[in-house]
Amino acid sequence: MSTTNNNTVLISGAGLGGLCLAQALKKHSISFKIFEKDLKRSFRAQGYRLRISEFGILSLQYALSDEIWSLFEKTSAVFEPSKPGTRLSTHTAEALAAGALGGGPPPLGNVKPYTVDRTTMRDVLLTGLENELHFGKAVANYTTTDSGVTVHFTDGSSETGALLVGADGVKSPVRQQLLPEYPFLDTGMRILYGKTPISEEFEKKFLEDAQHGMALLYDDGSSDNAPKTGVLEAIRFPQGKTVEHITLPDDYIYWVMVLRKEHLPISDTEVLRLDNEASSDLAVLLTKGWHSRLKPMIELQDRTQTSTLKMSSVDPSMPDWEPVSRVTLLGDAIHNMPPTGGAGVNTALRDAADLARKIVDAGGTGNVTKATISEYENDLREFSRKWVGLSWQGGTKAFGLKPLEECEKLSI
């Protein structure tokens, strides 16, 4: 079955960048449809804590209606500045000298950031988009003509519109067709993400100084020959369990461990196949030598929420490509980066708002040309190169990323 509307923006992916773009288009009365490969809204976990900083905030303010911006603010977690000395040794639970883990990129600006739960923020951005959102739609490929683009889905259906936007993450099938040789790298680092509910038992057992704000962890690997670094942050929602139609999570500690693949006790192939339970077991194994006041973070983890991922990144050089008038990209689909500094989500939001603005300034999709897309993509590359580079610098200081020339190229 094929559906046609040559004025419609077709968005592949219902992540935060794609939804931000959709909200901006809706705000300016521009037709769009969103296609998400997941079978339903809550098909899988959507992540944990995010920090929305200056250019992410400005992008959301452009994209969102007053009502949805207010909902975003109301559902944000408390932003707790970190206490001095929250660089901790995992073996002594004592503060390390400043700079022991290095630092991330410089601050994004003077605007107070928002701390949000990713799933909650996604629910906010989904508000009012139900009629334009289609689940179970995985992109197979697309075809273009002078007048439009047709997206073909793996279920045999298709949609035709004015512009296709690949907002579908690191493994974007849209980018795979548009830029099949674009340079992505395996940093050689593997990440364990987890979530630990802040229960009464947890508060009694866990180091009090690490229960507020962010703490950086340093583990020299003395117990398991696996040097690792980590981050944790308390995410708290004092506004209650619900805000309007949004259900907020219980308070939790968000935690991350980063280590080189060669320091893991199992093969890399096995690591990248771990499910939630096996990832939880790996976290327990890797922290067996931690101090008793820090181990509760792992011992009391929500075992359904732990995951293991490859830390990949676009090559920071981000070479130019030839634009086409009917297809473009945003977010991780084109500039996946190390998580250091939290610039990934903010850059995706910036992409979404900028693309929407350029469509609006052109007078709608009927006036979008190759020159419009070229201007958007030039701006995207110029902006993203800076933040990918800063993320690499921060990752090198904090996590010991390998030099670029030692990283393996990825085909994704």
Show Cβ contacts of residue 67 under 8 Å, excluding neighbours closer than 6 positions.
none
Q: Is the dihedral of CA 14, 20, 21, 22 positive or negative?
A: positive
Domain region containing 262: 87-114+186-312
In a domain, 80, yes or no: no
How far is the C-alpha of 225 from the C-alpha of 343, rounded, in Å? 31
DSSP 250: P
In a domain, 46, yes or no: yes
380 shares its domain with 295: no
57 shares its domain with 105: no
212 shares its domain with 301: yes
155 shares its domain with 270: no
Residue 238: how many other CB atoms lie within 10 Å? 7
221 shares its domain with 238: yes
280 shares its domain with 324: no
Q: Is 308 exposed, middle or buried (0-12, 13-18, 19+ CB in 10 A)?
A: buried
Tens-digit pLDDT profile for the chain (412 aa)? 555 557 999 999 999 999 999 999 999 999 999 999 987 655 445 468 899 999 999 999 999 999 999 999 999 999 877 665 578 899 888 887 654 444 434 445 567 889 999 999 999 999 999 999 999 999 999 999 988 999 999 999 999 999 999 999 999 999 999 999 999 999 999 999 999 999 999 999 999 989 988 898 998 766 677 788 889 999 999 998 999 999 999 999 999 999 999 999 999 999 999 999 999 999 999 999 999 999 999 999 999 999 999 999 999 999 999 999 999 999 999 999 998 878 999 999 999 999 999 999 999 999 999 999 999 999 999 999 999 999 998 888 888 888 888 899 988 7
From residue 197, alpha-carbon distances to 120, 200, 201 in Å are 16, 9, 10
296 shares its domain with 344: no
DSSP 7: T
Token pair, residue 150, equals 């047709």
The terminus-to-terminus CA distance of the chain in angstroms comes to 29
CB-based contact 254:49 (threshold 8 Å): yes
How far is the C-alpha of 15 from the C-alpha of 186, rounded, in Å? 22
Residue bearing tokens 């499910």: 275
CATH of the domain at 318: 3.50.50.60
397 shares its domain with 278: no
In a domain, 304, yes or no: yes
The residues pairing with 253 across neighbouring beta strands, listed in sequence order, are: 196, 234
Please say which residue of 279, 312, 345 terminates a domain: 312
134 shares its domain with 32: yes
CB-based contact 203:56 (threshold 8 Å): no
Token pair, residue 355, equals 């693309």
Show Cβ contacts of residue 100 under 8 Å, excluding neighbours closer than 6 positions.
87, 216, 218
In a domain, 82, yes or no: no
**Single-letter residue type at 163:** L
The residues pairing with 89 across neighbouring beta strands, listed in sequence order, are: 218
Token pair, residue 362, equals 């052109």
Give how many domains the chain has, as a whole number: 2
Q: What is the largest CA-CA distance in the chain?
A: 65
225 shares its domain with 329: no
Please say which residue of 287, 312, 337 terminates a domain: 312
167 shares its domain with 21: yes
62 shares its domain with 164: yes
Please say which residue of 312, 343, 378 terminates a domain: 312
Full-model pTM:
0.93
How far is the C-alpha of 226 from the C-alpha of 223, rounded, in Å? 8
In a domain, 379, yes or no: yes
